[in-house]
Structure 1
Amino acid sequence: MNPPSETEIRAKLDLVIDKLLHLGGPENEDELKNGGEAVGFFRRDFGITEWDWPQGVGLYGLLRMMQYTGSRQYVDFLNDWFAGNLRQGLPSHNINTTTPLLTLADFNLWVHNPEFEKLCLDWADWLMTCLPRTREGGFQHVTSANGDRQGVRLNENEMWIDTLFMTVLFLNRMGHRYHRDDWVDESIHQVLLHIKYLYDTHTGLFYHGWSFNRMDNFGGVFWCRGNSWFTLGILDWLEDFRGTLNRGVKTLVTDTYKAQVSALCRLQSESGLWHTVLDDPTSYEEVSGSAAITAGLLKGIRTGILDDGCLPVAARAVRAILDNIDEDGTVRNVSAGTGMGMNADHYKNILIEPMAYGQSLTILALAEALAAWYGKGGTL
């Protein structure tokens, strides 16, 4: 399959970005409330205004567009978003509320706000000294309490694959920027520990989580978006080292990424997307995880980690993603926030609604498509 045209990708990309900037809550909120957490209804997750992981991932898409294009088009939006949240008061410190700082750490290179810088430094220090740990020093996947901005859900002794994208990327980036070897070393520790306990050597895929209390991977489910956090995030993590990462560590991490990609390519559906439970074709096809996987594949090809044999998979995926963008820029078939599940049905029953991360991960996939097929060196 030939890749979609540059004109089509750019047109859809503009629509998706505009929708993200104005994304609000669901129109059928009262109906969704009835399903509660079991189907992924967390009021804070919807829209673009709240300070939590869905919005943080959303902001990251805008930041990457600024970095790709060199444009200041979204500076005012991002500046107002961060300043407004600071005025309102931030929610509790946890894994998920760290996510917006991944964007802020880089965005502040554009605006040079001392308050933003202090927040990033203080939060990185909090991760090192205050975040609860599992056995072996893993970052415990502490999340926001549902309905309580200052509360937390501890998820005691649990590691989730989401943590690598939501928190470890930020700590690594801050370590490199401020020459804090202890922060960088901790990010390496976390990546290796998550591979140790979440990677399945039989399939090449990642489980959603690991419990030291249970000493198992919960339901043993290979969740699409969970896997995509590694496919996409690990390349950004590697990139931050600028060639300084220990060769043995780099080889282990890169080989894990390539083995996962090989498994994902085999599991791609005929439509070009991936199922929300990757190895269960009866589960629905899900766009946000598929978009993140696609972005990770294309970046791997562009940076030379993967060979061009993955291009047909990427082309089919981009075509399918474009087909799931409405005329107003809404990305369809995106699953809501997904807690840890004990069986495949848990993931298959998560509701489908427009989400900030669905918009953002689509932005990243389309931006990488333009860079891979129509750009040079990642510049669009």
Structure 2
Amino acid sequence: MKYFNQEDSAYAVYGERDKEVIALLANRFIGENPQVPYQYRLDFTSGILCDTEGWYLFDFGSRFPQAQIGEICYGAGDLYSHEQTPSSFEVRCQGPVVCYVNGEEVFRSLPGDESYKTSAFFSITLLPGLNHFVLVTEKTEVGFGLKLRNAKPQWEPPHFLSPIPARNGQAGFVYSQPDQWNLERQNLILSGCYDGITWFPCEEYEQPQSCCPITRIFGASSHGTAALKSQFYLEEAKTVHGVIRCDTQASLYIDGVLKGEWQGGTWESEMKLSGGAHTILILCQKQPDEETGLTVLLETGGNALSLCAGVKGYEGQWIYTGLFDGNIPPVSDLLSMEKVYEGINGTCFWKADVPDSSVRIFAEEELYGKWTYPCGVTLYGLLTAARYLNREDWQEYVLEYARMTAAVYDYSVYDKSVFGYPGVNTQLCWLSELDDCGSFGSFLLEAYKYRPVKEARKLADVIADFMRNRQRREKDMVFSRNNNTMWIDDMYMSIPFLCRYYKVSGDAAYLTDACRQAKLFRQYFFMTDKKLMSHIIDLTYGKMNRIPWSRGNGWVVLALSELLLILPKEHPDYDAVTSFFLEMTEGILQVQDETGMWHQILDDPATYDEASSTSMFICAFSRGIRLGIIKEDLRLRCMTSITKAWTGMKKTVINRKGDLYGVCRGSDCSYSRSYYRQLGWRFNDPHGIGIAVLAGVEKLMLDEFLQNTVSC
């Protein structure tokens, strides 16, 4: 298969200048996925919440118990998409349901769908930008409401936003109170007009309420220390005049520096501050059934500074957390928007002066800041390249990615406990399979070597505990999946993490488990006639599918090479692991194409040239030679194969702009070869980019190794 004209290939431009090809791939990825912070949005515990399986629960029967038979409710939300892309949704109906997307009807329930007993599915094409969803459901004797989720919620978690302009930026759906169906009203809603209807969740407090925000948020009878935070911006260095009144004990911090503390009354001072953004933090005592009387004025040149909470969908100036007893979190922690805090009433995060509201964190970029196994592989490749080529900019990009995902883990657990489905680290919090944690966890520990962040080590302990005690295994302790299948992919989703966790913990049981998995996966999947691995086994039937899917075999040899990088030669399993690695090497060499590439199905040359598997085979062979495992004639064959494969990559799948072609999309499993034949490739897919970068680096490392060997 020809992906582009030869003159557009990386090889045509760069030839053997491999460092520049690696930089081309890495810079393109980083340029298209820049460092973007998480987004902070207002959401409501009284809104349409998700459960832990990703279902949005439109539970109108319990919300409106007085609704009459035949009345309807609307739910509306906007879903952002980075590009035009197909997407599938799952619906469970409790009564008739109609779904519209961008004004077009995309789903209408059938009578058999309307009892919560079965799921219905619909597929749509999401357009770039905001996609407008409207759901209409009717009350019947059976019930009132529905559940909605993405068909693969752990992979494509849909974070809906309020479509109402006055609530711009708020997270979640809005919904109406029950009423009789009206065509004119429905057409207005479909067109994006929401006037004339009361929409929930409610943004107004029930009367009467205190005039004090701290009392409104935490309750009149509560007590403890409240923390308030806001931001302001100075165009240049200025003197800021501050006047703060509080009837209770209080303290003021600007950018983490204590500026004043007092026992009650008025504090006034002049503060010289630099230009730029500043954070203001106030700690004040709240006494039971008493108002704090807190007022804040910051001004320059007689003009009041504009304060901003920095939360989308919230016009207020301050956000609040607490209440705390004597154990007030460090100011540095309170300045962070990544941490949760232990308050008097348990774990807490930031709230707004709106009823039932919370500030929530969302990872909204297409890739950056997401916890997924393809991103774990990509970042591992980028980090290895950064270290080898001394690219501090790449390394900083990768290490900051690792830090931020680890830093919000405690928050994501808290978010899940409050809202059912977290806005960050979604796949990690799903945590039911090795896919959810192993690849990214392995990268996290690799990054930990260069920037030992305590949150990363804590998170690694969570993953290690999951693998050891909760991940499904068969009686012989081999890893399996919850749907009663086994996949060779899980060698990479487990073994590299087990190896790195062994190194950081010193617990040899994890190295023993890594070796056990390698030996058992060979026992289950190795096809001796092909010297390749079958992709899957359905344990119900006890049969492998005997299809050597290319990336699956790539996962196998890459995982084995990761194990061999740290496995001592005197280890009792060393011979078994190296023997398995060499058998795989022989089988893979036999099916390499004349182009240097390997095919989507390894023994089917009619299938397309696949980039991710070719990259992984380069990596594994290079490591095998450098470790002295691949020797003599096989060594010469592998050296030739690597050169041919890397040249094939540059000619066939990497173009002059650093785009990567021919990466198989994420796979399901099948016993039919036709499934794998039609499993198409994706442009610049993260399953392949980091591995292609790693392959280039491994080729350079092998060249250097061979030069040093000859010179010696």
TM-score by length of structure 1 reads 0.85
Equivalence for 2:281 = none
Counterpart AA for 2:637: G
Q: CA deviation at 1:19?
A: 2.1
Q: CA deviation at 1:23?
A: 4.4
- Mapped pair 1:233 → 2:572: no
Change (3 A) 1:325 1:6: closer
Counterpart AA for 2:699: A
Q: CA deviation at 1:191?
A: 1.3
Equivalence for 2:453 = 113
Output aligned runs, 1:1-380, within 5 Å.
Answer: 8-23=17-32, 27-30=83-86, 43=156, 47-69=367-389, 71-86=391-406, 87=408, 89-91=424-426, 92-93=430-431, 94-98=433-437, 99-141=439-481, 154-156=482-484, 158-217=485-544, 219-246=545-572, 249-306=573-630, 307-323=635-651, 324-353=653-682, 354-374=684-704
Q: CA deviation at 1:308?
A: 2.1
Q: CA deviation at 1:232?
A: 1.9
Q: CA deviation at 1:110?
A: 1.5
Query: Does the Cα contact within 8 Å between 2:612 and 2:692 map onto a contact in 1?
Result: yes
User: In structure 1, how many angstroms separate the alpha carbons of the residues matched to 2:657 and 2:83?
Assistant: 15
Counterpart AA for 2:456: F
Change (3 A) 1:237 1:26: farther
Query: Does the Cα contact within 8 Å between 1:325 and 1:332 map onto a contact in 2?
Result: yes
User: In structure 1, how many angstroms separate the alpha carbons of the residues matched to 2:467 and 2:677?
Assistant: 33
Counterpart AA for 1:9: D
User: In structure 2, how many angstroms separate the alpha carbons of the residues matched to 1:48 and 1:302?
Assistant: 33
**Secondary structure at the residue paired with 1:51?**
coil
Instruction: State the Cα deviation string for residues 327-357 of structure 1 (Å, max 9, x = none).
Output: 2211111111011121111111112112112
**Relative to structure 2, which stretch is displaced further, 48-57 or 330-339?**
48-57
Query: Does the Cα contact within 8 Å between 1:288 and 1:334 map onto a contact in 2?
Result: yes
Equivalence for 1:147 = none
**Secondary structure at the residue paired with 1:110?**
coil
Counterpart AA for 2:378: G
Query: Does the Cα contact within 8 Å between 2:663 and 2:685 map onto a contact in 1?
Result: yes
Counterpart AA for 1:201: T
Query: Does the Cα contact within 8 Å between 2:369 and 2:404 map onto a contact in 1?
Result: no
User: In structure 1, how many angstroms separate the alpha carbons of the residues matched to 2:436 and 2:398?
Assistant: 16
Change (3 A) 1:303 1:30: same
**Relative to structure 2, which stretch is displaced further, 181-190 or 264-273?**
181-190
**Secondary structure at the residue paired with 1:159?**
strand
User: In structure 2, how many angstroms separate the alpha carbons of the residues matched to 1:23 and 1:289?
Assistant: 23
Equivalence for 1:148 = none
Counterpart AA for 1:132: R
Change (3 A) 1:130 1:14: same
Q: CA deviation at 1:43?
A: 4.4
User: In structure 1, how many angstroms separate the alpha carbons of the residues matched to 2:32 and 2:537?
Assistant: 33
User: In structure 1, how many angstroms separate the alpha carbons of the residues matched to 2:469 and 2:377?
Assistant: 24
Change (3 A) 1:15 1:235: same
**Secondary structure at the residue paired with 2:532?**
coil
Q: CA deviation at 1:377?
A: 7.4
User: In structure 2, how many angstroms separate the alpha carbons of the residues matched to 1:275 and 1:35?
Assistant: 30
Counterpart AA for 2:523: K
**Secondary structure at the residue paired with 1:82?**
helix
Query: Does the Cα contact within 8 Å between 1:23 and 1:356 map onto a contact in 2?
Result: no
Q: CA deviation at 1:75?
A: 3.4
Counterpart AA for 1:273: M
Counterpart AA for 2:553: N
User: In structure 1, how many angstroms separate the alpha carbons of the residues matched to 2:681 and 2:368?
Assistant: 17
User: In structure 1, how many angstroms separate the alpha carbons of the residues matched to 2:602 and 2:82?
Assistant: 27
Q: Which has the larger radius of gyration?
A: 2
Change (3 A) 1:118 1:31: closer
Q: CA deviation at 1:155?
A: 2.4
Uncovered stretches (5+) of structure 2, i.e. residues with no partner: 1-10, 34-80, 89-122, 127-149, 158-364, 409-422
Counterpart AA for 1:301: I
Query: Does the Cα contact within 8 Å between 1:176 and 1:241 map onto a contact in 2?
Result: no
Instruction: State the Cα deviation string for residues 289-326 of structure 1 (Å, max 9, x = none).
Output: 11111111122222222222322211111111112212
**Secondary structure at the residue paired with 1:21?**
helix
Name the one with the larger strand percent: 2
User: In structure 1, how many angstroms separate the alpha carbons of the residues matched to 2:425 and 2:460?
Assistant: 13
User: In structure 2, how many angstroms separate the alpha carbons of the residues matched to 1:263 and 1:283?
Assistant: 18
**Secondary structure at the residue paired with 1:245?**
coil
Query: Does the Cα contact within 8 Å between 2:622 and 2:699 map onto a contact in 1?
Result: yes
Alpha-carbon RMSD across the aligned residues, in angstroms, is: 2.8
Change (3 A) 1:317 1:46: farther
Counterpart AA for 2:693: I
Q: CA deviation at 1:189?
A: 1.5
Instruction: State the Cα deviation string for residues 174-210 of structure 1 (Å, max 9, x = none).
Output: 1233121222222222111111101111111011122
Q: CA deviation at 1:104?
A: 0.9
Q: CA deviation at 1:135?
A: 3.6
* Aligned residue pair count: 356
Q: CA deviation at 1:10?
A: 1.0
User: In structure 2, how many angstroms separate the alpha carbons of the residues matched to 1:35 and 1:264?
Assistant: 38
Instruction: State the Cα deviation string for residues 155-186 of structure 1 (Å, max 9, x = none).
Output: 22x22111111122101221233121222222
TM-score by length of structure 2 reads 0.47
Query: Does the Cα contact within 8 Å between 1:207 and 1:223 map onto a contact in 2?
Result: yes
